[in-house]
Amino acid sequence: MKPFDYTGKIALITGASSGIGLTFAEHLAARGVSLILVARSQAKLEALADRLTKKHRITTMIIIQDLGEPDACKKIVAKLKEATLSPDLLINNAGFATYGVFDEIPLIRQKEEIYINCIVPIELTHALLPAMLKRGNGAVINVASTAGMQPDPYMAIYGATKAFLLAFSEALWAENRQRGVRVLALCPGATETAFFDVVNAKEASVGKRMSANAVVIIALNALDKNRNYIISGCNNWLLGQLQRFVTRRRLLIIAEKMLRPNTHSNKGLKL
């Protein structure tokens, strides 16, 4: 399998203002990829675009968009058409988690979590994939999680959305593996971003945190090999295999003890 060819490519990255999304932007810019950066924070996106444009002499476009809006993807696609841009690489990175006891977390917040973590990647992929297939070249990276490897007590909706994203990505990989488009589900474990720290929910962070830089390097190496999914880090991989050695009941008991909140309070984790 030949490495992915980044020459002359355009990448669209959601959740590009921080964490893994920002790191993807840095690595792709260093490879000469033009960037379309999507997030809510205008100041952060403008600063990132300016820095990467000057450093790597690439073309950048920013789209300020709250992906929680019902017509968010339509607005993004409309702006791409207006600019006559057709991304060759789509990175569905934006997402967030709710943390706490399921029945205490507002339903509207959990529905928004499902929408951003699942529906937005579906809509963007559905909109951008046909042009990639027409060119016979392209890639989609969906940022899932090791949380999608098993049910996650106290992060029930988050784990379910990431399991969905993993299954969705692998199905698309199988459909498109002979059509020129690569699809990768990236499954990082705990990562050095604001994901856990922003609401002081360190008990939900399992294992040693990897740097976002290490996660992105692993992802791009996996894309070069046309992997269908990749778990970042040996320890995370081992945790992901636990379901092979214990019953589902035992796995759930272990997960509940590991993820149990210090207090039963509603918490929201944002990316």
89 φ/ψ angles, rounded to the nearest 5 degrees: -135, 125
Residues 239, 65: Cα–Cα separation, whole Å: 35
Tokens 């990431």, located at residue: 162
For residue 128, give the amino acid letter.
L
Here the tokens at position 203 are 């008990």
Which residues is 39 bridged to in the sheet?
Answer: 64
CB 37 within 8 A of CB 49: yes
Known catalytic membership, residue 158: yes
For residue 102, give the amino acid letter.
F
**Which of 6, 99, 158, 229 is labelled catalytic?**
158
Residues 111, 52: Cα–Cα separation, whole Å: 35
Dihedral angle over CA of 210, 237, 17, 15, nearest 10 = -160
Catalytic residue IDs: 158
